[in-house]
Structure 1
């Protein structure tokens, strides 16, 4: 387990090494406040950097699953992740929110699972 930038783990990438990537989720609204685990933030440029990392570790035949927010929860025409990860597999999954500053915002929401696993859609649960 490492504490640091995800790119520091690339030196471990090889066949059958598994990566679970759980970056700060892309904000769904203007008022979403948590976007980073550090003071540097995690904006769309960082999301693109993460996708580039996924491209590289896939070349080593490493396996990855990444979770992130599904922007289509609030804007059905927002294809940011669909386009960014178009060479990978995306599965939308239902996630339950039990913690939220607004009680009426708790409940089920769609999240995305992005992976280089070809048959990710056959898995009902992770």
Structure 2
């Protein structure tokens, strides 16, 4: 019931993320969960629509984050940790160098190869100030935005 009460003040939009920037204000929190960048050639699951969500789209999403952040909005974005798969792959570390990047463990229960199920790291990227120790988002900021 508490979640239902909070969601009464939330607008859920369907469409290109760029169309949502008109809502960017200081009291806006964007949570972005785009199609993840593939870790390898067999893990590509990023074609939810006709147009693929490739590296150019990832850059366009970063530009969106820059714009809404510049308007005072907060954002949290999740994506794959390509560096966790290939330590030389700095794609997201370079792309979001101006923001907080946190690697978190995610458990995968679905895979055609049971041996490949289990924990791997994903990224949480944000412009939200991190808590003490640099390993957690400030719950006070999130609470004030959510109710």
TM-score, structure 2 normalization: 0.81
Provide the C-alpha distance between the structure 1 equivalents of 2:48 and 2:114, rounded to a whole number of angstroms. Answer: 24
- Unaligned residue ranges in structure 1 (runs of 5+): none
The Cα of 1:36 is off from its aligned counterpart by: 2.7
Alignment pair present for 1:76 and 2:90: no
The reply to whether residue 10 of structure 1 matches residue 1 of structure 2 is: no
Instruction: Tell me which residue corresponds to 1:45.
Output: 56
TM-score under structure 1 length normalisation: 0.94
Equivalent position of 1:96 in the other structure: 107
1:122 aligned to 117, 122, 135, which one? 135
- Structure 2 counterpart of 1:20, from 4, 7, 31: 31
- Residue 40 (structure 1) shift: 0.3
Q: Which runs of 5+ in 2 are unaligned?
A: 1-11, 140-147
Secondary structure class of the residue paired with 1:23? coil
**How far apart, in 2, do the equivalents of 1:80 and 1:52 lie?**
15
**Which protein has greater RCO, CA pairs closer than 8 Å, 6+ apart?**
1
Q: Runs of at least 4 residues of structure 1 off by over 4 A? A: none
| RMSD value, Cα | 1.5
**Distance in 1 of aligned mates of 2:70 and 2:47:** 27
Looking at CA atoms only, which structure, 1 or 2, has the larger radius of gyration?
2
